[in-house]
Amino acid sequence: MATMKVNQISRDDLDWQLDYNTERCTMCGSCVAACPFEAIHAGIEKRRKVVSDHLTPEPKVEFKAIPIIKQTVDTYKYCRGCGICERVCPNSAIKPVRNEDSRFAIKYRGALADPYKRGGRANLSTGERTLDKIRVGRISQMTDPSLDASRHTFDMLAPFGRVLPPGELPINVKDGKLTLDKTMLPPVNWIYPIIIGDMSIGALSWRMWEAMSIATAYLNEEAGIPIRMCSGEGGVPVRLLQSKYLKYTILQIASGHFGWNRIINAMPKMTEDPAGVLIKIGQGAKPGDGGLLQAKKVASHIQEIRGVPKADLLSPPNHQGLYSIEESVQKMFLSFNSAFRFKVPVAIKVAASSTSVSVYNNLLRDPYNIVGGFFLDGISGGTGAANEISLDHTGHPVISKLRDCYNAATHQGKQSQIPLWAAGGMGQNWNLAADAFKSIALGANGIFTGKLMLQLAGCVGNDRGKCNACNTGLCPVGICTQNPTLVKRLDIDKAAENIVNYFLSVDYELKKLLAPIGNSSLPVGRSDCLISEDKAVADRLNIQYAC
Binding region for other proteins (CB under 8 A): 140, 143-145, 147, 152-153, 155, 157, 159, 161, 163-167, 169, 171, 173, 176-180, 182, 185, 188, 190, 410-413, 415-416, 517-521, 523-529
**What dihedral do alpha carbons 300, 386, 454, 121 form, nearest 10°?**
160
The nearer residue to other proteins, 180 or 536, going by C-beta atoms, is 180
User: Is 411 exposed, middle or buried, given 0-12, 13-18 or 19+ CB atoms closer than 10 A?
Assistant: exposed
**What dihedral do alpha carbons 149, 154, 160, 165 form, nearest 10°?**
-130
The nearer residue to other proteins, 445 or 468, going by C-beta atoms, is 445
The nearer residue to other proteins, 141 or 265, going by C-beta atoms, is 141
Q: What does the alpha-carbon distance between residue 467 and residue 506 come to, in Å, rounded to a whole number?
A: 27
Supply the minimum distance, in Å, between the C-beta of residue 187 and other proteins: 11
Supply the minimum distance, in Å, between the C-beta of residue 335 and other proteins: 24
Supply the minimum distance, in Å, between the C-beta of residue 522 and other proteins: 8
The nearer residue to other proteins, 303 or 520, going by C-beta atoms, is 520
Supply the minimum distance, in Å, between the C-beta of residue 516 and other proteins: 11
Supply the minimum distance, in Å, between the C-beta of residue 147 and other proteins: 7
Q: Angle at the Cα of 400 (from 325 to 345), degrees rounded to 5?
A: 45
Query: Which of 460, 462, 457 lies closest to 474, judged by CA?
Result: 460
The nearer residue to other proteins, 176 or 309, going by C-beta atoms, is 176
The nearer residue to other proteins, 97 or 171, going by C-beta atoms, is 171
Supply the minimum distance, in Å, between the C-beta of residue 536 and other proteins: 22
Supply the minimum distance, in Å, between the C-beta of residue 275 and other proteins: 16
Supply the minimum distance, in Å, between the C-beta of residue 205 and other proteins: 35
Strands 228-230 and 249-253: parallel
- φ, ψ of residue 11 in degrees (nearest 5): -60, -35
Strand-pairing partners, residue 47, are 64
Q: What does the alpha-carbon distance between residue 304 and residue 446 come to, in Å, rounded to a whole number?
A: 33
The nearer residue to other proteins, 103 or 526, going by C-beta atoms, is 526
Supply the minimum distance, in Å, between the C-beta of residue 345 and other proteins: 11
CB of 302 within 8 A of CB of 484?
no
DSSP 3-state assignment of 73?
A: coil
The nearer residue to other proteins, 140 or 243, going by C-beta atoms, is 140
Radius of gyration over every alpha carbon of the chain, rounded to an integer in angstroms: 27
The nearer residue to other proteins, 268 or 413, going by C-beta atoms, is 413
DSSP 3-state assignment of 65?
A: strand
DSSP state of 235: -
Q: What does the alpha-carbon distance between residue 469 and residue 104 come to, in Å, rounded to a whole number?
A: 15
The nearer residue to other proteins, 2 or 173, going by C-beta atoms, is 173
Sign of the CA dihedral running 423, 427, 433, 438: negative
- φ, ψ of residue 279 in degrees (nearest 5): -90, 115
The one-letter amino acid at 276: G
Q: What does the alpha-carbon distance between residue 178 and residue 166 come to, in Å, rounded to a whole number?
A: 12
- φ, ψ of residue 273 in degrees (nearest 5): -75, 145
Supply the minimum distance, in Å, between the C-beta of residue 156 and other proteins: 9
DSSP 3-state assignment of 545?
A: strand
The nearer residue to other proteins, 381 or 523, going by C-beta atoms, is 523
Percentages helix, strand, coil for the chain, rounded to the nearest 5? 30, 20, 50
Supply the minimum distance, in Å, between the C-beta of residue 263 and other proteins: 27
